[in-house]
Amino acid sequence: NIRNTEKLSFDKQQQYEVLVKAFDCGQKRSTESVAVHIDVKPVCKPGWQGWDKRVDYEPGTGSKQLFPKMHLETWASSGSTDLLPAPSSSTNWTASLVTDSGRDSDLIFRFDGGQAANIPDQVVPQILTDQFTIATWMKHGPNPGLRAEKETLLCNSDKTEMNRHHYSLYVHNCRLVFLLRRDFTQVDTFRPAEFHWKLEQVGYTVKILICNVLYH
């Protein structure tokens, strides 16, 4: 067996070559060594990929795409689930939603607070693991006079009168909030239950989309 004495880092070195010699029970060494190649895989880190901190541009050369290969790497597993698929005989929970055609013929669902998609239990994950990804594109329209109103994007709750939320993603008071309650088997484990993002780092446009308030 070959074992490492310290953690390997993809950033420091991506490949290793180890020469191995064999010994028999009489401690007689083999005449030739065997080369073992070890490939170090990068650690999965969700984030934007395909962009550079510096972009060179020569004046007078016309328009130039800044990051044509830029994409959001989520490292999602093969068990990814589309909660809002195109309506069909097997995915009929989106049939009553108002739709709109976006760029590149992408299907967009429009919500006004009066309708929602009731996703079947066998489709939506009941319990989230320690590592998960929620990916969504959202444009938040005007909502005058209702800044304190909670607008839910995704919610998983009990089917009883208690209506306890297990996890929920919503907009509230100019913030994007994610609620994740601990499992009943981990009642003695302390960990945060709510995560808030004010989204100031994204810029002025997001403030308008989230809050519909003009900042100076």
pLDDT at 133: 79
Average pLDDT of the segment spanning 165-186: 78
Q: What is the mean pLDDT of the chain?
A: 77
DSSP 44: P
Smallest CA-to-CA distance from 164 within 189, 178, 181 is with 181
Do residues 75 and 133 lie in contact, with contact meaning Cβ atoms separated by under 8 Å? Answer: yes
Position of tokens 């550079």?
A: 52
**pLDDT over 70 at 213, yes or no:** no
User: What was the pLDDT predicted at 188?
Assistant: 55
Q: At 109, is the pLDDT very low, low, confident or very high (cuts 50, 70, 90)?
A: confident
- The token duo for 191 is 């960990």
Measured distance CA(172)–CA(210) in Å, rounded: 9
The residue ranking higher by pLDDT, 104 or 33, is 33
User: Which pTM was predicted?
Assistant: 0.55
Confidence of residue 204 (pLDDT cuts 50, 70, 90): very low
At 87, list the tokens: 């309506």
pLDDT at residue 211 in the model: 54
| Token reading at 70 | 């830029």
Please determine, for residue 208, whether its predicted confidence score (pLDDT) is greater than 50: no
